[in-house]
Amino acid sequence: MKLTFIYLNFPFWRAEVSRIALFLSGIEFENKVILPDEFQRVRVDGKLDDGTVIPHHQLPCLIVDGRPIAQTGAIARFCGKLSGLYPKNDDLLAAQIDQVLDLATDITVLVASTGRENNEQEKRQKREALADGELARKLSIMEKNIKPHCNWINGDSIGLEDIAIWRLMGWLSSGSIDGIPVTILKNYPKIQRVCSNVDTSSKVQEWIKLTYQKNYNRGNYG
């Protein structure tokens, strides 16, 4: 099976959840990175400059033996089943993983919506209000649903949901989103613990060294 994963040069959770799942299990794939100007053409034309079809005009996209798969969740579940990080015969566990991925999407959409504001001061104010309001509420929900003294969100080993939350929380706490404080996770020790466990995993560290820019800010989990 030939796999090509297509995304921008940015380790966002929507891409990392699948790429790292494959990498952790030693599944070979081409990590194809495109530039922002080509991405803008993808959004219009639905294909790369080399003619590769991107069916939903958005990224990430996974090409499997020449056939494209769109949407973060669909790609993550496909890669998760290949890698053993998403169950094939346990519908309950699959649903428990899905609910975390869906919550990650909800949080992403919530924060991204503030980017439509053109006035920088008003944008910052909206994000500050978000950090104290709806974002805090969603993080509290996530915290409540992680079992005490567990290293991972579900089960006894790293899963898709742990990888997704690690990168999402890294983005939120990195200081790169004006108005969202780097201390956003200070009241959520269980989220911090999961993120730290992913971040210090030897295979994840190997992936970071291979693909992340030197001194890339992966977030604040303490």
Q: For residue 155, what pLDDT is reported?
A: 79
All domains in the chain, ordered by first residue: 3-83 (3.40.30.10), 91-211 (1.20.1050.10)
70 close to 61: Cβ distance less than 8 angstroms:
yes
**Vertex 183: Cα angle to 125 and 180 (nearest 5):** 25
Residues 97-148: tens digit of each pLDDT? 999 999 999 999 999 999 888 899 999 999 999 999 999 999 999 999 998 8
Distance CA 1, CA 151 (A): 33
Which residue ranges in the chain fall short of pLDDT 50? Answer: none
Residues 13-24: tens digit of each pLDDT? 999 999 999 999
What is the arrangement of strands in the sheet containing 67-70, beginning at the earlier edge strand?
Answer: 30-34, 3-8, 61-64, 67-70
Q: Determine how many CB atoms are found less than 10 A away from the CB of residue 200.
A: 10
Q: For residue 98, what pLDDT is reported?
A: 97
Strand, coil or helix: what is 218? coil
Q: Determine how many CB atoms are found less than 10 A away from the CB of residue 56.
A: 14
Q: For residue 43, what pLDDT is reported?
A: 97
What is the pTM assigned to this prediction?
Answer: 0.95
Mean pLDDT estimate for the chain: 96
Q: Which of 179, 180, 187, 172 is nearest to 220 (CA)?
A: 172
CA-to-CA dists, residue 27 to 30, 67, 82, angstroms: 10, 18, 8
Q: For residue 117, what pLDDT is reported?
A: 80
Q: For residue 118, what pLDDT is reported?
A: 86
CA-to-CA dists, residue 157 to 37, 135, 147, 170, 197, angstroms: 39, 27, 14, 20, 10
Distance CA 124, CA 43 (A): 28
Alpha carbon 212 to its chain's center: 14
